[in-house]
Amino acid sequence: MIPISWYLIFAAALFAIGLFGVLARKNAIAILMGIELMLNSVNINLVAFWRYLNPEAINGQVFAIIVLAVAAAEVAVGLALIISVYRKRNTIVAEDIDMLKF
Amino acid sequence: MTPLQIIFIINAVITLFAAIKVVTSRNLVHAALWLILVFFGIAVFFVMLDAGFLAVAQVVIYIGAIAILMIFTIMLTRRVAKDSGAQLNSNWWGGGILALIMFAGITWILTHWQRFQTTAPTIPATTDSVRQLGVGLVSPNGFLLPFEVASVLLVAALIGAIMVAREQKK
Amino acid sequence: MTIETLVWLIPLPPILAFFLIVLLTNKNKGLSHSIAIGAALLSWAGSMAVFWQAVNTPELGKNPIVSTYKWLPLGDKWFNIGVQIDPLSAVTLFFVAWTILMIFIYSVGYNNYGQPKGDHDRPGLQPHGATVIDENGHRHRVPSIEPMYSRFFAFIGLFAFGMYTLVVSDNLLTLFVGWEIMGLCSYLLIGFWYGKPSARAAMIKAFMTTRVGDVFMLLGVVYLYAQTGTLNYRDIFYNEATLHTLATTPSGILGLSTSGLIGLLLFIGAVGKSAQWPLHVWLPDAMEGPTPVSAMIHAATMVSAGVYMSIRVFPLISAGMQEGGQVTSAMMVMSFIGAFTALFAATIALAQNDIKRVLAYSTISQLGYMMAALGIGAYVAATFHLITHAFFKALLFLGSGSVIHGMEHGVLHTDDSIDPQNMFNMGGLRKKMPITFWTFLAGGFALSGFPLITAGFWSKDEILADAFGHGHWAVFLTLAIAALLTAFYTMRQITLTFLGEPRTKAAHHAQETPWTMTFPLVILAVFAIGIGWVGIPEHFPLLGGLIPNWFHEFVGGTLLEHPVGVEFSPWPLITSLVVALGGLALGWTVYRDIPANAPDPVEKALGPVHKVLKNKYYFDELYDFLFVKPAFWFAETFTSLWMDRKVIDGFLHKVAQAVGIIGNFFRNKIDKPIINEFFGDGIGNSVKQIGQDLRPIQTGKIQQYMMFGLSVIVFSALFFYFFVLKPF
């Protein structure tokens, strides 16, 4: 049988990859993709914990669903922002959007 | 090696590979497509974890809505990002190190968790997790409030997105 | 009202007069003098009533009229003050009351009441005459009224209060109070005409000199109090045990007993007050004051106070002396100073030309007589001479004032600019001023000791008899020679002033003075002639025994042991007759018919000695050199210039400079660089610098922000895990 450790390590790896994507990519949309990866890894974690530790209660899935909903909302808003910024600045390279500086 | 384990390993490899491709491909559209594959893999995992509803919700929402949204945005912002040139910014190595440290750290901490090696408990076959989930979400003793809050959040996000992204009329 | 209450009330009217005049009636001259004379009359009436009661009390010495009052609480005792009328104070009260009243009345005329205001008269200067135009249009100048008229009466009122207080008091403390009040009034009245520089100098000189004496007297009073715990006369001078204790306790100074030392200290006070040598220098200069002042203060009353006090403390001075035996050392000092002064002053009087100066030195000389008499133990004789001297000296001074006024009238009339007080400018005044002449003559004869019909004869003779009878040859001889000189210069004065012909135009036009001035002269002349008859010794040839020697009986009762009268001997009587009549005759012979502008015959006779006498043996110059100049130097140079300005002010300047330097240091070296710049501005600047250095962190690039955030989280998690959780 699959011990929980496999899921957890997998989720950790996915999280790390997503983190790399957030930190290292130029394009703002690519950053958002990395964020999505991280959110998904969190979902995996949640469900794994639910399944392995307390499957009678439904809390784990509910949590995961809420996370799902929130992720969706956040992506929508984030992409709307990127479009707005693109319209203004004509760029979506994160490094170039640095007006809030000293 | 049980069959489940084998499926797990294969799925994990595919998903991780796809994830790496997401963060490294030059072409954004390709990255989006690889992202869809990742979502699929996640859905498979959900199935393996006896969270069927969640798997379907994952497919519908993530792939059906979020990934499509991303592709639309990529197309709308195509002109500048010519999908050429380096896609990694100047501090990519710092990010890499940090990611590695994160991974190592999390793993290391988890190994010291005494329940790290627990196996899945059996669940009776008659459990209807979907029904349970439904009841939980709408019962006042359950998670009605977070459910409602989440729906309000979605409305807000919706309106917000529309407001932010609409054409500015002068 | 009891007699004790009356005694308390006697000093009251004059002080009331003083306050009333000063506060209310200063502008109104007539009202002021009326208040003053009214007060003097009241005190006189009270004094006469008390005196009458006193002489009708048998054994007054043993039970005097006494009234005390608890004044100062001292722990469980009280310091009492009060009044006491024993024989000595009774007779003193008598002459004080009469002379004060007479002088008050005299002052009205002397200050020219009723005369017009002067042309150039100002307060602070002598009145200089007013110009009047009579019916024919002639202008002539007449004496003008004193501008400070009321002030004069106020001051003499205060003075009278002081003297009465001194006489009626029953303890040395209130005596001293009266003493000092009189000293103050003397100061104020000598310098009455404060516009004159000589008057100002004289007033200070008088006060300072008597002060020297007063310091010693106060020491004596304090010492006495410390030894006996009381200052009351009855408790000390009438108390055998106290006197014996004081006489037998050695004081440790000069081998004197305690009583001797105290007596000597008190005597020094009298030396100052009664102008004995060496503190005699102030009295002649005190003649700068108006003549009533000279009469009252410096002839009849204040200088008499010194003698009164000495007589009062006589039991102390003579404590330890056996009756008829060796005198105590304090008494020896007293007799020496008294006799010496008598001769010394008489010699100076020979060479004086100012009418008042002669009388001043004469006063000093006569007071010396009294001191000498006390010094040889002739208690009753000294008291007798005190009383007779007061009357005839007051008479003489008032007479001289009358003469000066007459002369001034002549000066104003003739516009002659001569000194109206110089006897060599007078002459022949007996025709112009008869009343003054006859009264002055009576006084002068009394002073000289003209036999039988003058009071001075009886008192002086008693002193000489006492000196002779107890074998004090030196004193006897000195006093006899002094008597000769006294008679001589007195006759010189009378001859030069009244006899012969007028030597100047002013003398020619002299006029008799108004009744306010001549009336007191007459009254005093009556006393000058008659008062001696109350003390005729019993064994006097012919007259003795006809009238009992009331005075000896009465006053002798003041002491614990009634003094025994001296045995009669013809020698002192003969001596006294010879010196008195001889001196008078000599004076008349030498000085009659001196023409105008002629020099003094004595000047030629004595030669260079005369110059010394005229300059008063140069004592003033000596004291100036020894005391006055060093005192000025000390005050001006040493204290004011060196100590005050250089040392103390210098020190203060240095302190101020140092403070300035310290302040400067703190400000410029510590406050500004360290606190302001280093801390204050420094912190501000460094914060700014840090802010500026940290600015670049905000790049605006969100990925960098995230990296930072994550690094921090990672590292803190590691730290937390390894160093916080792991050890536990």
What value does the mean pLDDT take over residues C487-508?
Answer: 88
Q: How many CB atoms lie within 10 A of CB C507?
A: 27
C11 is written with which tokens? 């000093």
B100 is written with which tokens? 């590695």
User: Rounded distance, CA C435 to CA B154, Å?
Assistant: 146
pLDDT of B80 > 80? The answer is no
pLDDT computed for residue C539 by the predictor: 74
Tell if the CB–CB gap between A15 and B80 is shorter than 8 Å.
no
Tell if the CB–CB gap between B102 and A16 is shorter than 8 Å.
yes
Residue with structure tokens 């614990």? C560
Residue with structure tokens 């009164």? C308
What value does the mean pLDDT take over residues C29-41?
Answer: 92
User: Rounded distance, CA C396 to CA C402, Å?
Assistant: 10
Cβ A38 vs Cβ A22: under 8 Å? yes
Cβ B15 vs Cβ B46: under 8 Å? no
Which of A24, A98, A102 has the CB atom closest to C701's CB atom? A98
pLDDT of B85 > 70? The answer is no
pLDDT band with cut points at 50, 70 and 90 for residue B81: low
pLDDT computed for residue C570 by the predictor: 83
- Please check whether residue B98 touches C, CB under 8 A: yes
CA distances from C615 to B78, C208, C275, C349 (A): 139, 21, 17, 11
Tell if the CB–CB gap between B98 and A19 is shorter than 8 Å.
yes
Q: How many CB atoms lie within 10 A of CB C310?
A: 28
Question: Closest Cα to residue A81, out of B166, C511, C441, B53?
Answer: B166
* Residues 6 or more apart whose Cβ sits within 8 Å of residue A3: B116, B117, B118, B119
| DSSP character at residue C598 | P
Q: Name the residue with higher pLDDT: C652 or C57.
A: C652
pLDDT of C324 > 60? The answer is no
Residues of A in contact with C705 (CB under 8 A): none
Which of A2, A50, A76 has the CB atom closest to B69's CB atom? A76
Helix axis angle for B3-24 and A28-53, nearest 10°, is 160
| Residue C253 phi, psi (nearest 5) | -115, 120
Cβ A89 vs Cβ A43: under 8 Å? no
The 10s digit of each residue's pLDDT in B16-74 is 999 999 999 888 889 999 999 999 999 999 999 888 899 999 999 999 999 999 999 98
pLDDT computed for residue C177 by the predictor: 93
Tell if the CB–CB gap between A101 and C702 is shorter than 8 Å.
no
For C299-323, give the DSSP string. IISHHHHHHHHHHHTHHHHTTTPPT
pLDDT computed for residue C535 by the predictor: 80
Tell if the CB–CB gap between C707 and B109 is shorter than 8 Å.
no
Cβ B51 vs Cβ A56: under 8 Å? no
Pairing status of strand C77-85 against strand C130-133: unpaired
How many Å from the N-terminal Cα to the C-terminal Cα in chain A?
56
CA B65 to chain A, closest CA, distance in angstroms equals: 8
What value does the mean pLDDT take over residues C84-93?
Answer: 92
C181-188: Cβ within 8 A, 24+ apart:
C182/C297, C182/C301, C182/C302, C182/C305, C183/C207, C183/C210, C183/C211, C183/C214, C183/C273, C183/C302, C184/C158, C185/C155, C185/C156, C185/C158, C185/C159, C185/C297, C186/C159, C186/C210, C186/C286, C186/C297, C186/C298, C186/C302, C188/C155
C658 is written with which tokens? 């140092």
Tell if the CB–CB gap between A95 and C703 is shorter than 8 Å.
yes
Question: Closest Cα to residue C100, out of C152, C149, C164, C55?
Answer: C164
Other chains touching C, judged by 3 or more CB pairs under 8 Å: A, B
Task: Give the chain A residue whose CA is nearest to the CA of B97.
Answer: A20
Helix (H) or strand (E) holding C326: none
Residues of B in contact with A59 (CB under 8 A): 136, 143
Which of A23, A98, A100 has the CB atom closest to C706's CB atom? A23
How many Å from the N-terminal Cα to the C-terminal Cα in chain B?
66
Helix (H) or strand (E) holding C686: helix C682-694
- Please check whether residue A2 touches C, CB under 8 A: no
The 10s digit of each residue's pLDDT in C534-570 is 888 777 777 776 777 888 888 888 887 777 777 778 8
Cβ C227 vs Cβ C249: under 8 Å? yes
For A24-44, give the DSSP string. HBSBHHHHHHHHHHHHHHHHH
Cβ C264 vs Cβ C224: under 8 Å? no
* Residues 6 or more apart whose Cβ sits within 8 Å of residue C39: C13, C14, C16, C17, C157, C160
pLDDT of B148 > 90? The answer is yes
C338 is written with which tokens? 């008294």
What value does the mean pLDDT take over residues A29-39?
Answer: 94
The 10s digit of each residue's pLDDT in C182-194 is 999 999 999 999 9
Q: Name the residue with higher pLDDT: C454 or A41.
A: A41
CA distances from C602 to C162, C427, C448 (A): 42, 18, 19
Tell if the CB–CB gap between C698 and A97 is shorter than 8 Å.
no
Range from B30-39, C47-56, C255-264, C318-327 carrying the lowest mean pLDDT: C318-327
Cβ C229 vs Cβ C72: under 8 Å? no
Residues of C in CB contact (< 8 Å) with B are 703-704, 707, 710-711, 714, 717-718, 721
What value does the mean pLDDT take over residues B83-93?
Answer: 71
H-type alpha helices, C313-433: 314-317, 329-350, 355-375, 379-414, 429-432
Cβ C396 vs Cβ C103: under 8 Å? no
Task: Give the chain B residue whose CA is nearest to the CA of A21.
Answer: B23
CA distances from C325 to C217, C245, C377, C463 (A): 27, 19, 10, 18
Task: Give the chain B residue whose CA is nearest to the CA of C713.
Answer: B102
Q: How many CB atoms lie within 10 A of CB C564?
A: 10
- Indicate the burial class of C73 (C-beta count within 10 angstroms; 0-12, 13-18, 19 or more): exposed
Residues of C in contact with A28 (CB under 8 A): none
pLDDT computed for residue A91 by the predictor: 81
pLDDT of C444 > 80? The answer is yes
pLDDT of C57 > 80? The answer is yes
Task: Give the chain A residue whose CA is nearest to the CA of B113.
Answer: A5
C183 is written with which tokens? 């000293």
pLDDT of B82 > 90? The answer is no
The 10s digit of each residue's pLDDT in C111-144 is 988 888 888 888 888 888 888 887 887 777 888 8
What value does the mean pLDDT take over residues C312-340?
Answer: 82
Cβ A99 vs Cβ A85: under 8 Å? no
Residues of C in contact with A102 (CB under 8 A): 695-696, 698
The 10s digit of each residue's pLDDT in C157-182 is 999 999 999 999 999 999 999 999 99
Residue with structure tokens 């004011």? C640
Q: How many CB atoms lie within 10 A of CB B158?
A: 14
CA C707 to chain B, closest CA, distance in angstroms equals: 7
Q: How many CA atoms lie within 13 A of C431 on its CB side?
A: 10
pLDDT computed for residue C728 by the predictor: 66
Most C CBs within 10 A among B90, B101, B109, B111, hence the mutation to make, goes to: B101
Please, what is the average pLDDT of chain C?
A: 88
Helix (H) or strand (E) holding C42: helix C29-55
Cβ C339 vs Cβ C315: under 8 Å? no
SS3 C342: helix
Q: Name the residue with higher pLDDT: C424 or C218.
A: C218
pLDDT of C381 > 70? The answer is yes
Task: Give the chain C residue whose CA is nearest to the CA of A31.
Answer: C703
- The interface predicted TM-score of the complex, written ipTM, equals 0.91
Cβ A34 vs Cβ B23: under 8 Å? yes
SS3 C338: helix
- Please check whether residue A97 touches C, CB under 8 A: yes
The 10s digit of each residue's pLDDT in C277-309 is 899 999 999 998 899 998 888 777 888 899 999
pLDDT computed for residue C203 by the predictor: 93
Residue with structure tokens 């703190």? C666
- Of A41-45, C63-67, C225-229, highest mean pLDDT: A41-45
What value does the mean pLDDT take over residues C263-274?
Answer: 91
Cβ C26 vs Cβ C32: under 8 Å? yes
What value does the mean pLDDT take over residues B140-146?
Answer: 88
Please, what is the average pLDDT of chain B?
A: 86
How many Å from the N-terminal Cα to the C-terminal Cα in chain C?
114
What value does the mean pLDDT take over residues C217-235?
Answer: 90
